[in-house]
Amino acid sequence: MQKASLAELDAVIAVARRGNFRAAALELGMSSSALSHAVAGLEARLGVRLFNRTTRSVSLSAAGEQFVAQVAPALSEIRGAMDAVNIHRDTPAGTLRINTAVGAARMILTPLILQYLKLYPEMRVDLVTEGRLIDIVVNGFDAGIRIQEAVPRDMIAVPIGGPLRSIVVGSPAYFEGRTKPETPGDLLGHSCIRARMAGGAIYRWEFERRGEQLEIDVQGALTLDEMTLMLEAARAGVGLGYLSEWTVAADIAAGRLVQVLDDWTPAYPGLCLYYPGRRHVPAGLRAFIDLIRKTSLAGSEGDLPA
């Protein structure tokens, strides 16, 4: 039997991890047809079906589960050995896969990601954004970036920038004829832009002053799940928004938004890059960590819990 190539093994592992040929193809940077051909070719040589396919789903067969269980650790060791050789290169090469929230991605794109690509032209960055917190190891990521409180405890964390702060803002048009809130409880008399979190729950606005902590289930006609939409709605005078200070700083400076309840919104620990505590750290990830430690970020993004 002809031996399987690393590309074919990578294809099988990616499909098993993603449960979808298209998503696996995007992860590997190849076409869906090429990926399907690679998997089918390996199945033909093995004489077994590794996947059960329907028009709606893809799942591992019993043989596929056994194959992946044995191959995945070995393939990881091979990749680790290949990456370890990177330390002997002048600059690292390969792909750095990072999972993060949309807001964090906006904050780190220019000062970190784009700068990293300039410094290491032989590296590629695959930055995947999603609201829910995932297992970065199971899903094939080198690292994740989230607010500090969301970082899994079994991970090594590297702080990025300073503290974060979410604040309450409204447009001058919204405040015309209305009394500005002086306490969080006053928000119940205002129209607010409600925020739906990744899990589906409505976010309760959080406040603290001199040890007193409050959570307010604000009310309003509009509920959104994306920060830029909330910002646009606040600018339009639809209601009050609870957004990151970094996001709205330019609007406040330009007079498009007005901040309220300033003394009720203290700062909290900011973003962290995190990765599994393993013996070997890929050269590309190590270079990214070094860049983080050399870079000072003045602002940050963290409107909702990650």
In whole angstroms, what is the distance from residue 242 CA to residue 261 CA? 11
- Residue numbers in the chain where pLDDT is lower than 70: 1-4, 83-90, 278-279, 296-306
Whose tokens are 């739906």? That residue is 196
What is the structure's pLDDT at 83? 65
Q: Cβ contacts of residue 171 below 8 Å, gap of 6+?
A: 234, 235, 236, 237, 256, 257, 258
59: left (phi over 0), alpha (psi -120 to 50) or beta: beta
In whole angstroms, what is the distance from residue 199 CA to residue 131 CA? 8
Both structure tokens of 152: 């899994």
In whole angstroms, what is the distance from residue 200 CA to residue 115 CA? 35
Both structure tokens of 163: 């503290």
Write 286-295 long-range contacts (CB < 8 A, 24+): 286/92, 287/91, 287/92, 287/116, 287/119, 287/120, 287/123, 288/96, 288/112, 288/116, 288/143, 289/158, 291/112, 291/115, 291/116, 291/119, 292/112, 292/158, 292/160, 293/158, 295/111, 295/112, 295/115
Its pTM stands at: 0.69
DSSP state of 67: H
List, for residues 182-204, the tens digit of each pLDDT value.
999 999 999 999 999 888 899 99
248 membership: H or E segment, kind and range: helix 245-253
**Contact by Cβ (8 Å): 219, 193:** no
What is the structure's pLDDT at 263? 96
What is the structure's pLDDT at 87? 61
Strand pairing class (94-100; 123-129)? parallel
List, for residues 41-96, the tens digit of each pLDDT value.
899 888 899 999 887 788 999 999 999 898 888 887 787 777 666 666 667 888 99
Whose tokens are 């993060």? That residue is 100
Both structure tokens of 217: 């289930």
Cα separation values, 130 from 6, 98, 154, 231, 306, Å: 29, 11, 21, 19, 9
Q: Which domains does the chain have, with CATH numbers?
A: 6-85 (1.10.10.10), 90-162+269-294 (3.40.190.10), 166-264 (3.40.190.290)
In whole angstroms, what is the distance from residue 173 CA to residue 302 CA? 26
What is the structure's pLDDT at 301? 37
Nearest to 243 by CA among 179, 172, 164: 164
What is the structure's pLDDT at 78? 80
